[in-house]
Structure 1
């Protein structure tokens, strides 16, 4: 049966590029994917209809004109739906939920059409605010906005919260992940919905060196055979240091820090069925402890790979099963999942 996805992402998120690569990737695995990039279609339709609407200034357009233009594009997509259902395995309607333009938020959706698309799934593609800022600052449309990382973080926060609400009202699953997430993630969510999802947790501060990063990457790659794996982002932004001046600072100083916690706990972990924690080496990690506690209190199974028989009681309290190393863990997993089909295709 053909499925329909509503996919969103803020400007500069890499959503279009991710979806185009996903369509190509899916084709190699025998699945035909049709992607409608609504923003691009609006520009093309405006040009065809003789409207003086340019990519640089489209967000200055009268909102009634924008709504009419957007509705015309949605109607053209719906007219093609019957034929699309015959020729494709998946239809993706790629749209914006919100724009942050001239320091104000502007919604860019229509509930009426969202319902008419009858989506099976809602997706938001996120991106590191540093990368979004660099991408937008190079675009003619966004140069004058001079968006900071904090503004981009908040914009992305609004986008995910609103789209999650759409999904809830529509009775559909909702997932959000970063644009660097492997293409197999979306493929498994769509075409292998029975595959269990997991959040991979790790002591981020202590894995930035190349050796440990490579170990984690190999671990995740092998884990992909058994799960849909949601991977946290290693934030590129500057995190304020704790100091004696902490009490004098306001919350704005910590926007990126707060958003990092929000994404990991309330989005990536929340949408996963379980948590798997991998310690490349024996260290203390407040982030991991908090993620384990959140998983524990929301009744998610927690497995941990920790390279020592001695660990903090606060670590022990929150996990369900522990392993000393990767080899021990994957031997267990092979037996635990022996009757479950593995994903043995390329991950990207």
Structure 2
């Protein structure tokens, strides 16, 4: 969109009027649609929703998405610590952890509604970017090897994840299954540890929670972590059912 409007400075696209923003978006998507008619494969990287002056708006138009004729929709998500780190490093967007966990849920629901509103026969997948390693191979299989069976990996995480022998066995199981199936792995988005870390920090009299995110050691505000504890647990529960629904089997 910046190429379409060189007068707009980087990072300032949401500072323009909604009317111009909509016009720019439609113009860009018109070009994408034209390119899609000639390209053998095309991936469109876009949000389904966005916030503008505290309001929530669709990031695409249904008529243009119908014309594009998408084969599938994949909503890529990440953990709140990674999202916070990325926003702090790459953007100047004010946020708290509650914002991030709400925005993530809005994006999942928005993408699914867009998909089903365009054509309920088109597959929709929710895919985490990956906690320890990126899920590039899973993405590739979904797009280019749709015939491969899709499996939801079921294993204990909350109470056994810190026991070395059990953790090693779980990791071996995960890697083994990914050789044979397109796997939806709940371990690819891990943030259930945050409430425990918050409790430990509070016991030590600290006002921050120290975690490792994207190769960095960062500090999250203790009160912000406490504020999203229930959201974390609720979203894990809902996300597990979503991953199961988009799978052919549970392993």
Verify same fold: TM over 0.5: yes
Which of 157, 161, 175 matches 1:221? Answer: 175
Name the residue aligned to 1:234: 190
Deviations 1:114-135 (A, max 9, x none): 1111011000100001110111
- Equivalent-residue separation in structure 1 for 2:115 and 2:193 (angstroms): 30
Which of 259, 264, 267 matches 2:235? Answer: 259
Q: Give the 3-state SS of the residue equivalent to 1:43 in structure 2.
A: coil
Q: Give the 3-state SS of the residue equivalent to 2:60 in structure 1.
A: coil
Name the residue aligned to 2:2: 43
Q: Evaluate the alpha carbon distance shift between residue 91 and residue 68 of structure 1 in structure 2; reply closer, same or farther with a 3 A threshold.
A: same
Name the residue aligned to 2:153: 200
Give how far 1:236 is off: 6.1
- Normalised by the length of structure 1, the TM-score is 0.57
Which has the greater radius of gyration? 1
Q: Evaluate the alpha carbon distance shift between residue 236 and residue 46 of structure 1 in structure 2; reply closer, same or farther with a 3 A threshold.
A: farther
- Equivalent-residue separation in structure 1 for 2:25 and 2:52 (angstroms): 18
Asked if the contact 1:196–1:273 (Cα under 8 Å) also holds between the matched residues in 2, the reply is yes
Asked if the contact 2:192–2:232 (Cα under 8 Å) also holds between the matched residues in 1, the reply is no
Residues 91-170 of structure 1 aligned to structure 2 (within 5 Å): 91-142=42-93, 145=94, 147-169=95-117, 170=119
Asked if the contact 1:128–1:235 (Cα under 8 Å) also holds between the matched residues in 2, the reply is yes
Q: Give the 3-state SS of the residue equivalent to 2:10 in structure 1.
A: coil
Name the residue aligned to 1:336: none
Question: Are positions 1:173 and 2:173 aligned together?
Answer: no
Structure 2 unmatched runs, 5+ = 200-225
Give how far 1:252 is off: 6.0
Name the residue aligned to 2:216: none
- Equivalent-residue separation in structure 1 for 2:108 and 2:62 (angstroms): 16
- Equivalent-residue separation in structure 1 for 2:114 and 2:15 (angstroms): 26
Deviates more, 1:229-238 or 1:110-119: 229-238
Q: Give the 3-state SS of the residue equivalent to 1:204 in structure 2.
A: coil
Aligned residues: 216
- Equivalent-residue separation in structure 1 for 2:137 and 2:228 (angstroms): 36
Name the residue aligned to 2:211: none
Runs of 4+ in 1 over 6 A off after TM superposition: none
Give how far 1:225 is off: 2.4
